[in-house]
Homo-oligomer: A and B are copies of this chain.
């Protein structure tokens, strides 16, 4: 694989993105990006995703004001996942929680 090449095909055009608070390390959300969403993210410096339900690009916080400023973007060894490391301007979750991961899974048994 070439340097910086991401394996868009493997993910049928979408790559999962972990959004992480760059300062605290807290994982905020998992969402998806296509090539365009990643390019937009790099252009404007704000976390942008591809919404699978609305089939459109979606820059986090454009309506709520809770934008997520990109500090750096990491990609994994096999080029099929990303981390947006961000400085959050508000809560990342539509529930009002800082992170979407505010619940702990109990035993399923």
Contact = CB atoms under 8 A, between A and B. Distances in A.
Contacts of A104: 72-74
Interface residues of A, number: 39
A105 B4 contact: yes
Contacts of A89: none
Given A42-B109, A73-B104, 17 more contacts: A16-B16, A18-B30, A20-B27, A25-B25, A29-B76, A30-B30, A30-B81, A39-B109, A42-B107, A42-B108, A43-B109, A72-B105, A73-B105, A75-B105, A77-B102, A78-B100, A83-B101
Interface of A: 4, 16, 18, 20, 24-27, 29-30, 38-39, 42-43, 72-78, 80-83, 93-95, 97, 100-109
